[in-house]
Amino acid sequence: MPMIDLRSDTVTQPTSAMREAMAKAVVGDDVLDEDPTVHVLQDLAADMLGKESALFVPSGTMGNLISVLAHCGRGDEILLGDRSHIFLNEVGGVSAFGGVHPRTLPNEPDGTLATEKIEQSIRSSDLHYPPTRLLCLENTHNYCNGAPLSVEYMAEAESVARSNGLSVHLDGARLFNASVALGVDVRDITRHVDSLVVCLSKGLSAPVGSLVAGANDFINQARKLRKMAGGGMRQAGHMAAAGLLALKEQVESLSEDHANAKMLADGIAATPGLSIDPQLVKTNILFFKLDHAQLTGEKFVQQLKQEDILILEIEPGIFRAVTHRQVSADMITRTLEALQKIL
Ligand SMILES: Cc1ncc(COP(=O)(O)O)c(C=O)c1O
């Protein structure tokens, strides 16, 4: 029986069409700006994301790093969530490489940052303070149950930032999950930010790559920073060919991943020894708790592994499961049966 890998949507393998397109891609040296397939991908992405330009980068982490560095100088402050990926999981790159000062605000359970708290956190020009330059949002919000941030919220946050002279960057690693879950065009979300990152290598199933999008000047600066960070890729068109199919063919089916996540959450809610609020599950990411006197988290993960099911323990007793193209509804049923058996 195939392994059910619920650790992340990053484990998705490229589709057969992607493998074929990668093999046949017309390529050139992208550092010399001569890769036609990269150009096609960047142009399509800029159009879909409603921005002047887009830039193909090796990872979401690099995309966020060079975006923050393009917006900020050394000693500038950014506002971001205390559960955001940039703050928690990107090795502190914005501080290490950019000398940027991260100021965290508490993420609300729905992934937002309270707009009053954003406003209160923007520094005055007092001699003692670093200048606040940038607000970073995340949509969907990975560590807040994969929550999609609504268009209304994006507009409110933008308005607070703009009226105080801040720019807005969006970590939209799973932006298409947000647009599918909210039933809106992705541009309805992106029009409220100056720059954004979207990943092709997660639920969209491309093997590698993310895109940064924004205004022409911003992308020119991001290209320079990508080179500085060692992210200039040569015949990158092979990867871009898969990315094109990710954008053209894999967005719609994200709704199946969301339905499977909901089915898993409902089943977990009905399993004694586990707890979850299924109402919080709106995209492909869910978190649940183990409340069992005899079973440690480590043992629970091991027992699931023996049933060919992989999940991640994120904090002691708290687990994350992520659905994606390689997890079918039948696999969710099998996972729920295994959970019943173990507990
Ligand atoms: C919300 C979010 N942002 C950024 C990233 C970074 O992407 P990458 O793994 O491509 O560096 C991830 C990765 O899981 C993520 O979940």
Residues 200-239 pLDDT 10s: 999 999 999 999 999 999 999 999 999 999 999 999 999 9
Domain presence at residue 119: yes
Separation of CA 60 and ligand 1 centre (Å): 5
Same domain membership, residue 203 and residue 134: yes
* Structure token pair of residue 22: 């990668």
CB 303 within 8 A of CB 342: yes
35 lines ligand 1 (CB under 6 A): no
Residue 296 corresponds to which amino acid?
T
The pLDDT value recorded for residue 32 is 97
Ligand 1 pocket check: which of 85, 90, 175, 324 to mutate, most ligand atoms within 8 Å of Cβ? 85
Helix ranges (DSSP H) in the chain: 16-24, 36-49, 60-71, 85-89, 93-98, 115-121, 151-163, 175-182, 186-190, 216-228, 237-249, 254-269, 297-306, 329-342
Domain presence at residue 6: no
Q: Which atom of ligand 1 is nearest to the CA of 141?
A: 1
* CATH code of the domain containing 59: 3.40.640.10
142 lines ligand 1 (CB under 6 A): yes
The pLDDT value recorded for residue 1 is 77
User: Going by C-beta distance under 8 Å and a sequence separation of 6 or more, which residues neighbour residue 268?
Assistant: 274, 275, 276, 278, 286, 288, 336, 339
173 lines ligand 1 (CB under 6 A): yes
The pLDDT value recorded for residue 318 is 97
Name the domain count of the chain.
Answer: 2
Same domain membership, residue 264 and residue 245: no
* Structure token pair of residue 138: 């995340």
Separation of CA 292 and ligand 1 centre (Å): 31
Q: Which residue, judged by its Cα, is nearest atom 16 of ligand 1? A: 142
Domain presence at residue 3: no
Same domain membership, residue 277 and residue 242: no
* Structure token pair of residue 247: 């954008």
Same domain membership, residue 119 and residue 72: yes
Per-residue buried b or exposed e for 312-334, using 16+ beta carbons within 10 Å of the residue's own CB: eeeeeeebbbbbbbbbeeebbeb
Domain presence at residue 332: yes
Same domain membership, residue 305 and residue 231: no
Same domain membership, residue 157 and residue 25: yes
Same domain membership, residue 104 and residue 49: yes
CA distances to 78, 85, 314 from 43, rounded to whole Å, are 29, 27, 37
138 lines ligand 1 (CB under 6 A): yes
68 lines ligand 1 (CB under 6 A): no
Domain presence at residue 190: yes
Domain presence at residue 229: yes
171 lines ligand 1 (CB under 6 A): yes
Q: Which atom of ligand 1 is nearest to the CA of 142?
A: 1
Separation of CA 61 and ligand 1 centre (Å): 6
Q: Which of 200, 232, 249 is the last residue of a domain?
A: 249
* CATH code of the domain containing 285: 3.90.1150.10
Domain presence at residue 5: no
- Residue 221's Cβ-count burial label (10 Å; 0-12, 13-18, 19+) is middle
Same domain membership, residue 186 and residue 106: yes
- Residue 104's Cβ-count burial label (10 Å; 0-12, 13-18, 19+) is middle
Q: Which helix (H) or strand (E) holds 132?
A: strand 132-138
Crossing angle for the helix pair 254-269 and 175-182, nearest 10 degrees? 80
Domain with 204 in it? 12-249
60 lines ligand 1 (CB under 6 A): yes
CB 260 within 8 A of CB 329: yes
- The sign of the CA dihedral 5, 281, 104, 188 is positive
Same domain membership, residue 219 and residue 257: no
| Listed residue (243, 242, 305, 297) closest to 274, CA to CA | 297
As a whole number of angstroms, the distance between CA 22 and CA 135 comes to 37
The pLDDT value recorded for residue 7 is 98
Same domain membership, residue 325 and residue 178: no
Mean residue pLDDT of the chain comes to 98
Same domain membership, residue 273 and residue 211: no
pLDDT band at 293 (very low <50, low <70, confident <90, very high): confident
Q: Which of 249, 281, 313 is the last residue of a domain?
A: 249
Domain presence at residue 154: yes
Q: Which residue, judged by its Cα, is nearest atom 7 of ligand 1? A: 60
9 lines ligand 1 (CB under 6 A): no
Separation of CA 340 and ligand 1 centre (Å): 32
Q: Give the three-class secondary structure for 197.
A: strand
59 lines ligand 1 (CB under 6 A): yes
141 lines ligand 1 (CB under 6 A): no
The pLDDT value recorded for residue 16 is 98
CA distances to 81, 103, 228, 270, 278 from 213, rounded to whole Å, are 21, 24, 18, 42, 33
Q: Which of 205, 229, 249 is the last residue of a domain?
A: 249
Same domain membership, residue 79 and residue 32: yes
| Listed residue (145, 81, 138) closest to 113, CA to CA | 81
| Listed residue (14, 71, 6) closest to 205, CA to CA | 14
pLDDT digits (tens, 9 = 90+) for 111-153: 999 999 999 999 999 999 999 999 999 999 999 999 999 999 9
37 lines ligand 1 (CB under 6 A): no
